[in-house]
Amino acid sequence: MTIVDLVLAQLALLHLGALHPVERALTLVLAFGPFVVLGVVVWWRSRHADPDQPDQPGEPEVPAQRDR
């Protein structure tokens, strides 16, 4: 990367300016929102999971293997 490339990159950033607070909030929501939703769904499903029921209906339970 040359000095000219660095100067042009800095000029582009200065031209765009700072983000408006609403734009900053929207960027954060779009960046991290899906991960927060995924975490909530995983937490919610694990909270309501019945430990006595197998994962798939009709699937036979496999006994645990013994240590050799």
- Please write down the HEC assignment for all residues of the chain: CCHHHHHHHHHHHHHHCCCCHHHHHHHHHHHHHHHHHHHHHHHHHHHHCCCCCCCCCCCCCCCCCCCC
65 confidence band (pLDDT: 50, 70, 90): confident
pLDDT, mean of residues 27-53: 88
| pLDDT digit string, tens, across residues 3-33 | 888 888 887 777 666 778 888 899 899 999 9
pLDDT for 16: 63
